[in-house]
Chain A
Amino acid sequence: DAKTTQPTSMDCAEGRAANLPCNHSTISGNEYVYWYRQIHSQGPQYIIHGLKNNETNEMASLIITEDRKSSTLILPHATLRDTAVYYCIVRVAGIGAGSYQLTFGKGTKLSVIP
């Protein structure tokens, strides 16, 4: 799996959009970009994933650059409950043992400030 690079930490004012960047310059054509977050003392929580098109769900939006070498997770209106460590993960698509493991890096610690 390709490696990802994320800032160690970020702050965001409550009610504002939180934009979390991720670089994955060595991503392959068959690799998805996944985002998870982990709130203190809880298990990782799936947020969103995409291959090459931008994606949106009830939690967030995922913007993937045209060359697929970077992406941005957008939380449109951050709340205090969004304070967590956010992980950007690149994962091989399709069937096969090697594609199932999620490799979590150090992530970005997002602090939402009142």
Chain B
Amino acid sequence: DAGVIQSPRHEVTEMGQEVTLRCKPISGHDYLFWYRQTMMRGLELLIYFNNNVPIDDSGMPEDRFSAKMPNASFSTLKIQPSEPRDSAVYFCASSLGGDQPQHFGDGTRLSIL
């Protein structure tokens, strides 16, 4: 079975540009999570969805960050405008049930110059 698929794997862009990260969860999973990983702060939960509805976005750092899940097989995390401090690895994870193990994609390594 295919795991969580994220794209792109790497993104390098200039400050001020819009960045869109994409995620396809495991088929049938009803929870989707977006995390950010940095050396300084480790892995942080940004937002999660249940049945395509955002449930908790308290981890989203600023209004520059937004996430959508238009259907059960696709989610996006958008940063507009991007800043150098947004540079990190962004992971998407999904689970079958909120209290079940989360399965992660391989992440998008984002570099904002």
Listed in ascending order, the chain A residues whose CB lies under 8 Å from chain B are 34, 41-46, 49, 93-95, 97, 99-102, 104-106
Contacts and interface: CB of A to CB of B under 8 A. Distances in A.
Contacts of A42: 106-107
B40 to A, nearest CB: 12
Given A43-B105, A46-B102, A100-B33, 17 more contacts: A41-B106, A42-B106, A43-B4, A43-B93, A43-B106, A44-B43, A44-B91, A44-B93, A46-B103, A93-B99, A94-B99, A95-B98, A95-B99, A97-B56, A99-B98, A100-B31, A101-B59
Interface residues of B, number: 21
The DSSP consensus for interface residues of chain B is strand
Nearest to A48: B101
Contact of A43 (B31, B91, B98, B101): B91
B112 interface: no
Interface of B: 4, 31, 33, 42-43, 45, 48, 55-56, 59, 91, 93, 98-99, 101-107
A44 B98 contact: no
B101 A46 contact: yes
A43 B42 contact: no
Interface class of chain A by DSSP: loop
A102 B43 contact: yes
Contacts of A44: 43, 91, 93, 104
Contacts of A34: 101
A42 B59 CA distance: 22
B101 to A, nearest CB: 4
4 pairs of A and B residues whose beta carbons are closest in the complex: A43-B104, A104-B43, A46-B101, A101-B45
